[in-house]
Structure 1
Amino acid sequence: MWEGLQKASTVAQLTGVDALGLIAMTVRAAQTARRNKRTCRELAGQVERIGDLLRTLQEEQPRPGMRRPETSAPLAELHDTLRQACALVESCQRGSYATQLCAGGEHAGRFRDVQSRIAFFLQLFPIISHVEHTRLLVRVIDGAAARNALPFYPHEPQEEEQMLRSLTNHPNNPQARFQKFTFSQLVNATNSFSLEEQMEQGPLATLYKGRLQGSDVTIKWLTTSSSGQQLPQSISEYELFKNEIKILPELQHTNIIKLVGFCTEQSERIVVYEHMQNGSLENVIFGGMRAGLTLDWPSRLRIIEGVAQGAVYLHNHSRLRVVHRDLKPSNILLDSDMNPKISNFDLAMVLCPGVDEETTGSVVGSVGFIAPEYMSKGAFSVKTDVYSFGVMVLEIISGKRWTRCIQETYHVDLLAWAWSDMMRRPLCCGEQVAARLRGFVHPSLHDVSFSGRGPPRCLSLPARRSALWRQREVRRCVRAALLCVQEKPERRPAMPEVVRMLIPRKARAPPFPRRARYAVQGPLYAGDRSPAAGA
């Protein structure tokens, strides 16, 4: 009998059936199984959940050839397991009672094995999704420009030395001096860059916590060569390092990470930041809460407002007009009081004086956070960061990634609810809409009313006021975020306007956003619109 199963599995493999096709075949076979009906249907339910997760992953990463090696291998193993599950269930559609008695024990063992493997993949999927979603997307728009662009390496060693010497020697401003550390110092500070000291691993760099000269620090080690991340020829590890080293010393703001020092020994490029005890916002939102660390609504609102203030400083108040180009939760670090600081200026660009928008032949950014005009034309401006900020706010409020599936499910309802208090006739969302919106927001916000009703009258007056105040805060944040993710950059507010929207005022309400064309003809989720090349 098992030879028959192997034969069926081989046929499925040779016919080139994809994973979703195998899942559909398994579900159909389970409905007509003549033997082991209950077990077959339980297995079909498991593979259906796998199918839902696969569809979500395909939305985030539409081209399988772009997947990273560490996620491709588990997905290949999953495909083999789905083939076995399909063959196993199909075998229960045929065979006599006598055959069932002879092979019953072996069959039960095969079912248990396949079910345990599928249960393992269900647990593995959140990790695979995290790795795929947070990778860097690289898209070459102008192939000729990319080919003709030379990697930025200093033509002479003195050029790099001169730049680094200017950081360590500021006679007019001793506070602006930064320390040059040796590689051995950083090895000792991080216990040889051990996994226990690792805080975050991204496509460009790995963050470690360490201790230097009696102070806790955060150490960022550029690791593009070892991570397999592909970059355009015009961008090298030195270029990324140079960006951060040149830009960060010019920035002084409570919501911008502080540079402590650097290391360029042994061809390594390492940056040392001030210590951020609570790691990245990415880990806090999606990585599960550590013991003793909670992220209630006041903390989420403080993070939203802090990032907005930091972006205003970058765009309007710093000596340089900086476009970050990669605003996302993993680039927001949190201190001991959960105050946010924008970090990782590797991809940042400084706009020339009098220029509001520039273009590049190579798009580099993170899937889901790239503005439509930057993705399609390579045009970037301060409105590029505004778009990324809007996506990030929606993720902070919901605790969910702003994928195409999430956008299509909730965008219309969010638009209606966010502006319902401004209509001449206040909109009362139906129970189904209210239930969907409760499914969108993080559980810590489930006491927010989406149906147009006020807080329950059974609450005390202070509790009712608190709930009503929280509802207004959430509505303001959703409203600002939806304005930020409009397709056309000229329709997005500038960051100073966003900050004003977040502050409770009796000023005139912001204009109602036209629904972005991406929401009608395609997804707002810009990361899955274009052909891209990346690791």
Structure 2
Amino acid sequence: MDRLINNASGTGHVGSLRAFATEETSYTTIIKLFNLVQCTPDLSSLDCSQCLREALARRPAGPRGGRVLYYNLIVAIVLSITISIVLFTLAFCLIRRKAKKQQNVRIDATEGVDGNNISEAESLQYDLTNIKTSTNNFSADNKIGEGGFGEVFKGTLNGQQIAVKRLSKTSGQGEQEFKNEVLVVAKLEHRNLVRLLGYCLDEGEKILLYEFVPNKSLDFILFDQGMQQLLDWSRRYKIIVGVAKGILYLHEDSRLRIIHRDLKASNVLLDSDMNAKIADFGMARIVGADESQVNTSRVVGTFGYMSPEYALHGQFSIKSDVFSFGVLVLEIISGKKNFTFHQSGNSDDLLSYAWKLWRDGRPIDLLDPTLGDDFTRNEVIRCIHMGLLCVQEDPEDRPTMAAVVLMLSSYSVTLPLPHQPAFFLHSRTTPMPQPPNSDEFSSKSLPLSAIDESITELYPR
């Protein structure tokens, strides 16, 4: 055994660490001993020799032999196994957590978001005190907008101009919609989408901080007779293209597939160069790439822009946004709101009127008269054509936003003939569809001011 220890450790005449040695020897004429010594190769020759000799001292007595595993070796083996198990368990937990987080991305915040998901945007959270300071404590002098959702103030934070959207406590956008807007917009980045800078959820306040867009919303200029002249045809066309590209990004090009569900003129902001920026994602819905249609018991959005299958049956898809886009295009061209169009002496809504002019070969008559002769005829007719394709009743007949952008960018693309648009509201005498078991709407006609408001909860047929 002494000879084997010397051979293994190299402390004898052998000269170098081998870490193990074996030998067979005759103990008696009929008994042979088979011997093996081994130490870990990370030990020095001296440490190996010392370790093996301590193990030899622990050998069992008698010629029958035995096996000695020295304690230090056992500790090393057990410790290695333990570390491996811990590392494996940790890696498994991290992978599982990442997979769960990716799965949570698809949760619809307007229909139930885990409150913990808001932590994903914690880096965007701002202190309420700083926000009050930036807006001079929400001074009326800093107010730049107001609606059913609440108020918008102009502020300056860290030397940057910002828009502060302060939701009212009676706003249709509740805490779930607020969280949804933060989680959705924080993941988006496109020149035609308004950029979210931060949020505040403190002391009962629900506040969103956006980049400041100086020219307010599209409806503020488009439907104001004193300001319409600011939107010549080239600017209107640029706005149409910008909105189309922004919706295309939501539907196909972003990391998430998003249906906006409340696209309208008041949710399109205009920057200093009149570039369109889509805003207000409180009603947006994240869907899977394989979901062609989603059913919901909560219809949210604005009548006049909502597709018939969504307003009446709670069925929405990317083609619902396409319908809203088509209505918006016809409004931009005509300078008239869809459901106040009867005030111009026509009993039809805007979609019906546009269709009749198209059918009669007079599409140019739809154009806003304030534009005079300063427009490109082919662009106007092509936009009307495209708008009518977008508001067709059957969702399958409507183009995708990818096709719309192609129609706007290439005149070599032949547009199919449009079918008659969806007529689910013809005039102010047409009753609104009444959902069962709901006292939110009556069977009587609604005043136009009510029709044009955002609907935050409706239980459809």
TM-score w.r.t. length of structure 2: 0.64
The equivalent position to 1:167 in structure 2, one of 99, 104, 121, is 121
Does the alignment pair 1:447 with 2:391? no
Instruction: Give the CA deviation at 1:506.
Output: 2.0
**Residues 256 and 203 of structure 1: is their aligned pair in 2 closer, same or farther, counting only changes over 3 Å?**
same
Contact conserved, 2:164 with 2:208, CA < 8 A, in 1?
A: yes
| Cα offsets for 1:69-127 (capped at 9, x unmatched) | xxxxxxxxxxxxxxxxxxxxxxxxxxxxxxxxxxxxxxxxxxxxxxxxxxxxxxxxxxx
Does the alignment pair 1:505 with 2:405? no
Distance in 2 separating the partners of 1:382 and 1:524: 27
Amino acid corresponding to residue 416 of structure 2 in structure 1: P
Amino acid corresponding to residue 294 of structure 2 in structure 1: E
Local SS of the residue matching 1:269: strand
Contact conserved, 2:338 with 2:350, CA < 8 A, in 1?
A: no
Contact conserved, 1:485 with 1:524, CA < 8 A, in 2?
A: no
Local SS of the residue matching 1:206: strand
Amino acid corresponding to residue 313 of structure 1 in structure 2: Y
Does the alignment pair 1:531 with 2:434? yes
| Cα offsets for 1:35-84 (capped at 9, x unmatched) | xxxxxxxxxxxxxxxxxxxxxxxxxxxxxxxxxxxxxxxxxxxxxxxxxx
Q: Which runs of 5+ in 2 are unaligned?
A: 1-108, 442-449, 451-461
Q: Which residue is equivalent to 1:226?
A: 170
The equivalent position to 1:245 in structure 2, one of 150, 157, 182, is 182
Does the alignment pair 1:204 with 2:110? no
Q: Which residue is equivalent to 1:67?
A: none
Instruction: Give the CA deviation at 1:418.
Output: 4.8
Instruction: Give the CA deviation at 1:188.
Output: 1.9
Amino acid corresponding to residue 443 of structure 1 in structure 2: P
Local SS of the residue matching 2:269: strand
TM-score w.r.t. length of structure 1: 0.56
**Residues 153 and 357 of structure 1: is their aligned pair in 2 closer, same or farther, counting only changes over 3 Å?**
closer
| Cα offsets for 1:324-347 (capped at 9, x unmatched) | 000001111111111111111000
Amino acid corresponding to residue 397 of structure 1 in structure 2: I
**Residues 346 and 413 of structure 1: is their aligned pair in 2 closer, same or farther, counting only changes over 3 Å?**
closer
Relative to its length, the structure with more helix (as a share) is: 1
Local SS of the residue matching 1:305: helix
**Residues 481 and 407 of structure 1: is their aligned pair in 2 closer, same or farther, counting only changes over 3 Å?**
farther
Aligned residues: 326
Distance in 1 separating the partners of 2:318 and 2:111: 26
| Cα offsets for 1:466-512 (capped at 9, x unmatched) | x5xx11111111111111111111111111111122224223x2111
Local SS of the residue matching 1:254: coil
- What is the 5 A alignment of 1:104-503? 152=112, 159-160=115-116, 163-169=117-123, 178=124, 180-223=125-168, 225-226=169-170, 229=172, 237-287=174-224, 289=226, 294-403=230-339, 405=342, 408=348, 414-415=354-355, 418=358, 429=362, 438=365, 440-447=366-373, 470-503=376-409
Contact conserved, 2:326 with 2:391, CA < 8 A, in 1?
A: yes
Contact conserved, 2:349 with 2:426, CA < 8 A, in 1?
A: no
Contact conserved, 1:418 with 1:476, CA < 8 A, in 2?
A: no
Instruction: Give the CA deviation at 1:153.
Output: 7.5
Q: Which runs of 5+ in 1 are unaligned?
A: 1-148, 170-177, 230-235, 421-426, 449-466
Contact conserved, 1:200 with 1:280, CA < 8 A, in 2?
A: no
Amino acid corresponding to residue 328 of structure 2 in structure 1: M
Amino acid corresponding to residue 133 of structure 2 in structure 1: N
Local SS of the residue matching 2:316: strand
Amino acid corresponding to residue 371 of structure 2 in structure 1: L
Distance in 2 separating the partners of 1:250 and 1:371: 27
Local SS of the residue matching 2:348: helix
Instruction: Give the CA deviation at 1:210.
Output: 1.1
**Residues 474 and 188 of structure 1: is their aligned pair in 2 closer, same or farther, counting only changes over 3 Å?**
same
Relative to its length, the structure with more strand (as a share) is: 2
Distance in 2 separating the partners of 1:332 and 1:248: 15
Q: Which residue is equivalent to 2:84?
A: none
**Residues 364 and 164 of structure 1: is their aligned pair in 2 closer, same or farther, counting only changes over 3 Å?**
closer
Local SS of the residue matching 1:264: strand
Distance in 2 separating the partners of 1:301 and 1:479: 14
**Residues 524 and 494 of structure 1: is their aligned pair in 2 closer, same or farther, counting only changes over 3 Å?**
farther
Once superposed, what is the RMSD of the aligned Cα atoms?
3.0
Contact conserved, 1:487 with 1:524, CA < 8 A, in 2?
A: no
**Residues 505 and 241 of structure 1: is their aligned pair in 2 closer, same or farther, counting only changes over 3 Å?**
same
Greater RCO (CA < 8 Å, at least 6 residues apart):
1
Distance in 2 separating the partners of 1:472 and 1:219: 41
Amino acid corresponding to residue 372 of structure 2 in structure 1: H
Distance in 1 separating the partners of 2:226 and 2:279: 21
Distance in 1 separating the partners of 2:282 and 2:180: 5
**Residues 485 and 517 of structure 1: is their aligned pair in 2 closer, same or farther, counting only changes over 3 Å?**
closer
Local SS of the residue matching 2:337: coil
Give the percent of matched residue pairs that are identical in Structure 1 and Structure 2: 36
Amino acid corresponding to residue 261 of structure 1 in structure 2: G
Looking at CA atoms only, which structure, 1 or 2, has the larger radius of gyration? 2
Local SS of the residue matching 1:201: strand
